[in-house]
Amino acid sequence: MVLLALMQANSAVLDITANCAAVDDAARTAAAAGAQLLLTPELFPVGYAPGRLRTDFDPATLPALREALAGIARRHNIALVYSLPAVTPAGEWHISATLVDESGDELLSYGKVHLFGPDERAAFASAAAAPGVVEFHGLKTSLVICYDIEFPESARAAAVRGAELLLVPTALAGGFDAVPKVLVRARALENQLTVAYANHTGVEGSYDFHGGSIVAGPDGAVLAEAGPGAELLFAELGEPSNAAADPAEGAGSADRADDPEAAVAYLRDRRPDIYRSWDV
């Protein structure tokens, strides 16, 4: 079993000290509750304000900031997902997410592929690499960021690479309630994996965030769901696919996909050869 914690909070734009202190406090509380991993929202350590980040944030501070976040993981013995700007050797700015283990060692990184709105597109460039997958406490785990989850291809790319848990740092402003309530659950069901989606709350710059963080299981069921305010959300995930599962308690996501009596086997029944001829 894996206990997952999601941080839903208000970030102070470019107040890195305050934001890291908030992550530290959430990590301390989550670890004390027995959680193995804390998922934080998109760009939380620097605040979500793409234009101000591009003009006022110094990327030379990124190595020290990454080390500070890794130190939080080490100090509280809990894995951590954080999201920051990243600058490529060619000088492109991306939105990134990183998973570090409880020792602060990097397990996985990802660059956001789908940028949302004119502010993001003016400040950042789209990444292109597919989601990677790593083993985390017996669960094959992957990352995408915010708007990525609204595209079926992103979650499917993680699923066909074997992901059982998809972690999604997000910055979803008010007015898009269908994303956590409908699309996140659909992505989980159609790919037969667990999706954890952690959002901001409150006002940051010109953005008003309404929370609504959610964890959806591989059958699309809501495992945990936050309200509009600051909250530390917990979800207990089931047995990994390589472990024996008690049918009364439910099987892991891969078990569901492999057992036609347990669920519709969407991954097994895909027809990628046909889809290629459709030019979709």
**Candidates 20, 120, 140, 146; catalytic one:** 146
Q: Is 115 helix (H, G, I), strand (E, B) or coil?
A: coil
DSSP letter (8 states) at residue 22: H
**Beta bridge partners of residue 90, listed in sequence order:** none
Which structure tokens are listed for 73?
């993981």
| 146 is an active site residue | yes
Closest CA to 48 of 231, 208, 225: 208
Q: Is 112 known to be catalytic? A: yes
Please identify which of the residues 20, 112, 140, 204 carries the catalytic annotation. Answer: 112
**Which tokens in the block code for residue 216?**
């959806």
Exposure b/e, 7-17, CB count within 10 A at least 16 = b: bbbbbebeebe
**Whether 88 contacts 118, CB under 8 Å:** no
Residue type, 198: A
Which element (helix H / strand E) includes 6? strand 2-8
DSSP 180: I
Positions marked catalytic: 42, 112, 146
